[in-house]
Amino acid sequence: MLAKIALFSFRKRWLVLLVWVALLSGITYWSRTAGSAFSTNFKLPSSDSQAALDLLQTRFPARSGATGDLVFKADAGIQDRAVRAAVESIISRIQQVSHVTSVVSPYSQEGTTQVSPNGHIARVVIQFDQNNEDIQKNTATLNAIKNIVGGEKTSGIQFELGGQLFAGQPNIGATEIIGIVAAIIILLVAFGSVLAMGLPIITALFGIGIGAAAVTLLGHVISLPDFTIELASMIGIGVGIDYALFIVTRYRQGLAERLSPEQATINAINTAGRSVIFAGFTVVISLLGMVLMNITFIQGLGIGAATVVAVTMLASITLLPAVLGFVGNRIDRLRLPGMGRGSAKQEEQGIWYRWGKVLEHHALAAFLIGLALIAVLAFPALSIRLGSSDASSRPTSDTTRRAYDLEAEGFGAGSNGPLLLAARIGGQADLEVLKKVRQAVQADDNVALATSAVPNQDFSAAIIQVIPKTSPQEEGTVDLIVRLREKILPAATEGSDVQVHIGGLTASFEDITKVLSDRLPLFIGTVLALSFILITIVFRSILIPLKAVLLNLLSIGAAYGVLVTVFQRGFGESLLGLGSTGPIESFVPMMLFAILFGLSMDYEVFLLSRIKEEYDRTGDNNLAIVQGLTRTARVITAAAAIMITVFGSFILGDQRVIKEFGFGLSVAVLIDASIVRLILVPATMELLGRANWWFPKWLNWLPEVHVDAGGLEVREQDN
C-alpha cells in the first residue's frame, strides 16, 4: 500500500501538491473566519467540587456563574475622594457590560471584607451569568471589561484584573520561529544541502499549518484549553521534521545506490515510511487514549495534539514524495562545503563505529554506568507532587499576575484561591448548623477567614467562603481541603440533614489532580503493555520488547525527575524565567508519557530494525549491533537534536505549563537518544547475545509485521 501511495504521489505530484495547498488555504481561511473558541472545562462528574457547582446552578444560580476580580491599590488610600470616584466610575461602566449580573463594590456593606487591613488595597468582585467555559468564549464581554479598566489612567491608582478569565493569551509565534531556525541549522549540518534541508521544513510547516487550523475549528465543538495550539504546534514541528528527516535520508541513500528518483522515493516510503507510520500511529493512539480519562479539557488536549500528529504523518507519506518528484536528482544541489558528506567506508571508520566496538568489549561497564545515570536523574521523581500552579507562575507582564501580587500583599496569599462551601439546607432553621460549620472551619490553623453563611431566597441552599492562609498551589491548601472533607465538615453537620460540598477553582483542580493521580498508573501500564505486544510482533522476540518497555520506563522516569528538580524544587528556575516554584501540572506526566512513548518507539524501531536486518544477514549478534548502531546513530542524533531544540525553544514561552512541556520533552528526548539508545540498548543487547532473538514456538501464530522493508526489492513501475 505504501509503495502505491508513493508511486501515485510521485507521478501525480502536481495534483498532490495542489490538493495540499488548497487544503492549507481553505482550512486556514475557515478557521480565521470562524475565530477561536478556546475554553477550559473542568467538569468532573461524581466529584465533590462538581456537586457544589451543580447545587449552585440549580438552587443558587446567581452565584453559580464565573467570577473575576478587579484589584486596585491606591497610594492615598481607597477612601480618598478622587480614588473612590474613579473606582465607582469603573464599576458603573462594568455593570453595563453584557453577562455581568452584579459587581460587588468594596464601598458596599456586602464588600466590607474586600478592603485590606491597611486600607490601600481593595478588590471588586465581578459576577457573570455564565460559567467559565462560556464566558471565555464570549470575548466581547471580556474585552469590554479589559478596555474599561485599561482606559482608566487616574494618577496614584494601580488597576489589575484577576482570575483565570483575564489571563493573557499565549504568544507562540516567537518560540515557533526559534525552533524552526534551529532545525534548519541542524538539517544543514546533517545534509549539507540547502535543498535537502528544505524538504523536512516544508513538510512540517504544511502539517502544523493545517493541524493548527483544524484544532482551532475543533475548539467550537469540544472544550480545548487556550494553550492547545501551542502544545500541538510544538509536537507537530518536532515530529514533522523528524519523520521527513528519516524519509529524506533513505531517499538520498537510494540515489547513492544508483536508484532512479522514482525508485528511491518508493524505497524511502516503503522503508522509512513504515517506521513513520508505526511511530505516528503509536503517538496518535496514546494521545487518544487520554479521552478515556473522562475529563473534558484532558480529552481536548489529547484530541488536539493527536490531530496535528496525524496530519504531519499524512504529509510525510503523501506530500513529501510529491515534492521529491520535483526535486529528483537535484536534492544535493546548493551544497555547503564540508557538510553532510560521508561514505559507508568512512562510517565504518567513524566515531559511531568505534563507539560500537567499545560497547562490544565493555558492555557490562557501559550498562552499569548508563543505569546509574538514569537512576540519579529519576530519583527526584519519587517526590513528585501533582497539582495546578496559580497566577504567581505567570510573567509580571500579565495583569492576572500583578493582581495576584496585589491580593497577596493586601489580603494574604490564600485570597487568590478561596474555597466555596455550598450547603444543601432544608430551611431557615439549618442556618444554625451552618454557624457551627463556620466556627469549626474558622478554628482550623490554616484558615484566614470563613464568612457567614449567605442563603438563597427559599433557604434551600447557602454558601460560605473560606480563605486559606496558604496560596492555591501550596500543599497546605490541599491538606486543608482534605481535612474539611474528611473531618471538619462531617463532624460539624453530624446529626443534621445539611450537606456541604467544597467548590471553586482550587477545589476543582485538586479533584482533577486526584483523579489523574489515581488513573495514571493504569494509563502507563496500558501503554507499556501495548508497546510490548507491538514490538513482540515486529521483532519476533521476547527479550527485546521487555528490554524496550523497561528502558522506556526508566528514560521517562528520568525526565520526570529532572522536571521535579527544576519546576518543583526550583533548581535553575531563574534561568527558565519561572515566576515561582510549584507542583507539576497534574496532566503533564500523562501527556509527556503519551508523546514520549511514540517518539521513543520511533528511535527504538529505527535502531532495532537495522540491527535485526544485519543479524538476519550475518547471524552474528555482536556484528549486527555494531553495524546497526553505526548506520543509525548519525540520523538518530540529528533527529534528536532537532527535537531537543524545537521542544527547548518553547521554554521561552510565557506560560508555565508550556515551559513544563517544552523542558520535559527536550530533556526526555536527550536522555532517550543518548543514554538509552546509544548506551543502554546496545550494551544490553551485547550482554544478552543470541538470547535477544529467542522466540517461543507457541507464539508463531502471531502475525508477522515488517516495520522496515529494507529487504524488499524495488522495481521501476510501468507508466
Would you say residue 712 lies in a domain?
no
Better-scored residue on pLDDT, 8 or 575: 8
Confidence of residue 469 (pLDDT cuts 50, 70, 90): very high
Q: Are residues 99 and 180 in the same domain?
A: no
pLDDT score at 41:
64
- Render pLDDT for 304-340 as a digit per residue (tens, 0 to 9): 888 988 999 999 999 999 999 998 888 877 676 655 5
pLDDT at 377 over 70: yes
Would you say residue 51 lies in a domain?
no
pLDDT score at 71:
94
Would you say residue 499 lies in a domain?
yes
- Render pLDDT for 138-162 as a digit per residue (tens, 0 to 9): 778 888 999 999 887 778 899 999 8
d(CA 608, CA 146): 56
d(CA 145, CA 19): 43
pLDDT score at 695:
86
- Render pLDDT for 199-236 as a digit per residue (tens, 0 to 9): 888 888 898 889 889 988 888 888 777 778 877 877 88
Q: Which residue has the cell 490531530?
A: 307
Q: Are residues 123 and 74 in the same domain?
A: yes
pLDDT score at 343:
47
Q: Are residues 159 and 171 in the same domain?
A: no
pLDDT score at 710:
45
pLDDT score at 711:
40
Helix H or strand E segment including 449: strand 447-450
pLDDT score at 30:
92
In the numeric block, which cell numbers belong to residue 538?
515486529
Helix H or strand E segment including 423: strand 419-424
Burial level of 516, CB count in 10 A (0-12/13-18/19+)? buried
Average pLDDT over residues 427-437: 92
Would you say residue 610 lies in a domain?
yes
Confidence of residue 366 (pLDDT cuts 50, 70, 90): very high
Average pLDDT over residues 415-423: 91
511, 446, 415, 518: which is closest to 125 by C-alpha? 415
Mean of all residue pLDDT scores within the chain: 84
Q: Are residues 490 and 403 in the same domain?
A: yes
pLDDT score at 470:
92
Q: Answer for the pair 120, 74: CB distance below 8 angstroms, yes or no.
A: yes
* The total number of structural domains that make up the chain: 4
d(CA 8, CA 27): 24
- Report CA torsion sign: 390, 43, 475, 557: negative
Would you say residue 713 lies in a domain?
no
Pairing of strands 584-585, 386-387: parallel
Q: Residue 308: give its domain's CATH number.
A: 1.20.1640.10
Which residues, 6 or more positions from 71, have their beta carbon under 8 angstroms from its beta carbon?
A: 121, 122, 123, 124, 159, 160, 161, 162, 403, 406, 407, 410
Q: Residue 420: give its domain's CATH number.
A: 3.30.70.1430
pLDDT at 378 over 90: yes
d(CA 487, CA 427): 24
Q: Which domain holds residue 248?
A: 1-35+167-341
In the numeric block, which cell numbers belong to residue 245?
528527516
pLDDT at 574 over 90: no
Better-scored residue on pLDDT, 197 or 297: 197
Q: Answer for the pair 94, 103: CB distance below 8 angstroms, yes or no.
A: yes
Better-scored residue on pLDDT, 73 or 659: 73
- Render pLDDT for 42-86 as a digit per residue (tens, 0 to 9): 677 788 998 998 898 888 887 777 888 999 999 999 999 999 999
Phi and psi at residue 39, in whole multiples of 5°?
Answer: -160, 160
H-type helices in 330-444, by residue range? 344-348, 351-361, 363-378, 399-411, 431-442
- Render pLDDT for 519-571 as a digit per residue (tens, 0 to 9): 888 888 887 887 788 778 877 888 888 888 888 888 889 999 999 999 888 88
Q: What angle do CA 82, 88, 90 make, to 5 degrees?
A: 105
Highest mean pLDDT among 342-351, 463-472, 598-607: 463-472
d(CA 512, CA 660): 18
pLDDT score at 107:
93
What percentage of the chain carries pLDDT values higher than 70?
92
Burial level of 343, CB count in 10 A (0-12/13-18/19+)? exposed
Q: Which of 509, 544, 562 marks a domain boundary?
A: 509
- Report CA torsion sign: 656, 662, 668, 671: negative
pLDDT score at 84:
93
Q: Are residues 364 and 326 in the same domain?
A: no
pLDDT at 461 over 70: yes
In the numeric block, which cell numbers belong to residue 119?
486600607
d(CA 591, CA 587): 6
pLDDT at 96 over 70: yes
Would you say residue 123 lies in a domain?
yes
Q: What angle do CA 615, 619, 623 make, to 5 degrees?
A: 65
DSSP state, residue 441 = H
Q: Are residues 310 and 359 in the same domain?
A: no
Q: Are residues 668 and 546 in the same domain?
A: yes
| Rounded CA Rg of the chain | 29
Average pLDDT over residues 465-485: 92
What percentage of the chain carries pLDDT values higher than 90?
30
Would you say residue 702 lies in a domain?
no
Would you say residue 41 lies in a domain?
no
- Render pLDDT for 483-498 as a digit per residue (tens, 0 to 9): 999 999 999 999 999 9
Torsion angle, alpha carbons of 641, 643, 644, 648, to 10: 140
Long-range contacts of 354-359 (CB under 8 A, 24+ apart): 355/629, 355/633, 355/678, 356/625, 356/626, 356/627, 356/629, 356/630, 356/682, 357/626, 359/625, 359/626, 359/629, 359/679, 359/682, 359/683, 359/686
Confidence of residue 373 (pLDDT cuts 50, 70, 90): very high
- Chain centre distance of CA 81: 49
Q: Are residues 233 and 159 in the same domain?
A: no
- Render pLDDT for 596-652 as a digit per residue (tens, 0 to 9): 776 777 777 778 777 877 787 888 888 888 888 887 888 888 888 888 888 888 787
d(CA 83, CA 94): 17
Q: Are residues 525 and 544 in the same domain?
A: yes
Q: What angle do the packed helices 228-256 and 261-288 form, to 10 degrees?
A: 150
Which residues, 6 or more positions from 57, have their beta carbon under 8 angstroms from its beta carbon?
A: 64
Q: What angle do CA 686, 692, 696 make, to 5 degrees?
A: 165
Taken as a whole, the chain contains a residue count of 719
Q: Answer for the pair 456, 476: CB distance below 8 angstroms, yes or no.
A: no
Helix H or strand E segment including 464: strand 461-468
Q: Are residues 188 and 323 in the same domain?
A: yes
386, 390, 394: which is closest to 589 by C-alpha? 386
- Chain centre distance of CA 637: 24
355, 218, 364, 394: which is closest to 297 by C-alpha? 218
Q: Residue 88: give its domain's CATH number.
A: 3.30.70.1320
E strands within 105-197?
121-128, 157-162
Q: Which of 479, 509, 539 marks a domain boundary?
A: 509
Q: List Cα–Cα distances, 600 to 303, 348, 532, 643, in angstroms.
A: 20, 26, 13, 12
Which residues, 6 or more positions from 555, have their beta carbon under 8 angstroms from its beta carbon?
A: 374, 596, 600, 668, 671, 672, 675, 676
pLDDT at 698 over 50: yes
Q: Are residues 527 and 645 in the same domain?
A: yes
pLDDT at 435 over 90: yes
Q: What angle do the packed helices 363-378 and 351-361 form, to 10 degrees?
A: 100
Q: Which of 458, 475, 509 marks a domain boundary?
A: 509
Q: Are residues 138 and 213 in the same domain?
A: no
Q: Widest CA span of the chain, in angstroms? A: 91
